[in-house]
Structure 1
Amino acid sequence: MPPRSRVTIRDVAAQAGVSVATVSKVLNNRYGVSPDTFARVTAVIKDLGYEASLVAQSLRNRRTNVIGILVADIEPFSTELLKGAADAIRGTGFELVVYSAGGRTGDPTGWELRYLTRLSGTLVDGAVLVTPAVDLEGIPGTPVVAVDPHTGRAALPTVDSDNLHGGRLATEHLLSLGHTRIAMLTGRADLKSAQQRETGYRGALASAGVPVDENLVRRGDYDAKVATESARELLAGPDRPTAIFAANDTTAIAAIEAARELGLRVPEDLSVVGFDNIPESALCAPPITTVQQPIREMGHRALELLVRLINGEETADTHITLGTELVVRQSTRPPTP
């Protein structure tokens, strides 16, 4: 008879009717698997004669002293966050490795799951996920901290900022200047931060007695290309807004460029407020009024929390929310009469 081909973890998952991540949990005796599922997967492993790789077996009970940071792309937000994580890792005995999906966000199969399944227990002792686009309960059991988490129920430890308050601050600033036709370029719909910033925008308008014009709420997706198209549509019409609140600084910069293309001046013809306070926001012409979230501190706190979890230390607070504040610069002014 021909030799039997080697059984893989995917074979086990298919036979048991579960995900690869669930099989990984069973193999590593991690939390998050029901007794019935555990028994079913164990039976399939025995029936198929599956053997985990010798590398995984040899490393399962050993430290790699490596922490992974998983980012969808290397862009201003993740760059600032990485600086904070790099500061926090000094003196911990761990090394930091960055894994990038190259901008492949919105992947329905979850690039984070694939990376974590590949790295879990063999190459890293834990991971920080930056703006994950998956249901956090579906991630393998290796210690993980999520920064700017998905909109699903956060089963994992998280670090984010007070995005709701920040959205209100941005909108209230524009209202205080006398603007009432205030547009918004929203963020990534799958992230809690985007939902909260929009909720803050809507709440501030409601408190001021200004009805929300749904025609002024357009997609930004935290993406310059998407935001540019939306800003052009907003500003090309006869009843254009006098101000735009962009859900991050990258899309605020895109809105300013779109305004210039249409012959509009910022802030004389259009006021713009961003969110994040990345270094580029202060270098723009004009410098952008923005909501500051402490991005470096978020990276620092996420790394500190993860190290405590890896070391098995008691952690009182595993859901950390940091404050936001308005930074007023030269991209906003009262509307021209």
Structure 2
Amino acid sequence: MKSEEIARIAGVSRSTVSRVINNYPNVPEKTRERVMKIIREYHYEPNLSARVLAGKRTNTIGLFLYSIYDIKSPYRIYGNSFFAPFVDAFVDIGNSMGYYMLVHTIYNPQDCWRISQTFSQKRIDGGIIIGTEKSREIESILSKSTNPLVVMDYNPAEIEKTIGPKSKIAVINSDDEKGINSAVDYLVSLGHREIGMIMGRATTYSGLKRRESFMKRLEHHGLTMDVRYMIKGDFTGKTAIPEIENLISSRQLPTAMIASNDEMALATMETFKRHGIRVPEDVSIIGYDNAPASAIVKPSLTTVSIPFFEIAQKSMDMLSDLIESDKPRFMVYNSDVGLIVRESCTRNNS
């Protein structure tokens, strides 16, 4: 069925049907209701290709998951404690706002051109990029783009220096300085002075920010960072486990450790358990993310909670504003975080 037939049955012009479909305000309410009733009765669907050619919106958002690390792992995206909850949240929120969500994974920097291609093919109205490792390819896209984009986990100052005068970009991050500060402060309040860190990748904004915040907060408390306790983890348990094994072999353990995500914290707890090292009696541990598993392990994991759903909601709201705006805009938002105290930390009595 074509729009002309809907117009004939409703007794209106074809342009009126078009105005109803595109939700224009200058249509009498009774006319709108009559047209919409016929559209529902006949299961009419507008021709998307024709709408795109006419410059109409697709009501589709592109969700680009950028993961170029550990590409052989089957869990690098959908089993990941960072990506997986965001995908669920974005699809749920996007659908509730009336958007279709087109999910695309990028495992190689050379495939970043697909982001620009998806826009040039007019398949999406706006895009969200998650997991942005610092790379020339991403920066090139951001510098040239005039399309509505939300970027997560990237230094906003660097993006602002890169983008052009016609850019429509929003940057959203979690408040990692506050999160790490709260974790360090809590351990210090329990009497810990030798505190280590299992670090994320320095090629990500969150990995770098959490490490820098950790070192600054130790200094704030008059504590010295011990390089022996700064453990390479790269945000994966696979990388963290052999490094923790090396730490155990050295027979020199900190009294507490903060991991840059829950995956590494849980892997560390399991490794300690295999070696007879008790958590929290021997070593207290704090994670970061508040992944579902953190609440059900024994002992349950004290962790910094990232509000994934709230961040996704804010990202969609910001992107919707960029799509509606006819002017260039640059927006920055830091999401609040909070420490969730569970069972993996105790007072240091040594």
The 3 A distance-change label for structure 1 pair 312 and 175 is same
Aligned position for 2:345: 332
Aligned position for 2:228: 215
One-letter code of the match for 1:213? D
CA distance in 1: counterparts of 2:128 and 2:323, whole angstroms: 12
**Matching of residues 143-222 of structure 1 within 5 Å:** 143-149=148-154, 153-155=158-160, 156-222=169-235
Aligned position for 1:70: 64
Cα drift, residue 115 of structure 1:
2.3
Unpaired segments ≥5 residues, structure 2? 1-48, 68-76, 161-168
Q: Which has the larger radius of gyration?
A: 2
Query: Given that residues 322 and 329 in structure 2 are in contact (C-alpha distance below 8 angstroms), is that contact kept between their aligned partners in structure 1?
Result: no
One-letter code of the match for 1:119? T
One-letter code of the match for 2:248? L
The 3 A distance-change label for structure 1 pair 143 and 221 is same
The 3 A distance-change label for structure 1 pair 154 and 317 is closer
One-letter code of the match for 1:79? A
The match for 1:92 among 93, 97, 108 is 97
3-state secondary structure, aligned to 1:157: strand
Aligned position for 2:119: 120
Aligned position for 2:23: none
Query: Given that residues 234 and 241 in structure 1 are in contact (C-alpha distance below 8 angstroms), is that contact kept between their aligned partners in structure 2?
Result: no
One-letter code of the match for 1:92? M
Cα drift, residue 211 of structure 1:
0.9
User: Normalising by structure 1, what TM-score?
Assistant: 0.75
**Matching of residues 294-333 of structure 1 within 5 Å:** 294-312=307-325, 318-333=331-346
**2:129 corresponds to 1:129:** yes
CA distance in 1: counterparts of 2:254 and 2:349, whole angstroms: 12
The 3 A distance-change label for structure 1 pair 60 and 255 is farther
One-letter code of the match for 2:116? T
One-letter code of the match for 1:138? S
Cα drift, residue 266 of structure 1:
0.9
Displacement over 4 Å in runs of 4+: 313-317
CA distance in 2: counterparts of 1:143 and 1:259, whole angstroms: 46
User: Once superposed, what is the RMSD of the aligned Cα atoms?
Assistant: 2.5
Aligned position for 1:14: none
Aligned position for 1:25: none
One-letter code of the match for 2:226? D
The 3 A distance-change label for structure 1 pair 90 and 157 is same
Question: Share of identical aligned residues, percent?
Answer: 28
One-letter code of the match for 1:303? M
The 3 A distance-change label for structure 1 pair 60 and 186 is farther
Question: How many residue pairs were aligned?
Answer: 277
Unpaired segments ≥5 residues, structure 1? 1-54
The 3 A distance-change label for structure 1 pair 59 and 189 is farther
Query: Given that residues 235 and 241 in structure 1 are in contact (C-alpha distance below 8 angstroms), is that contact kept between their aligned partners in structure 2?
Result: no
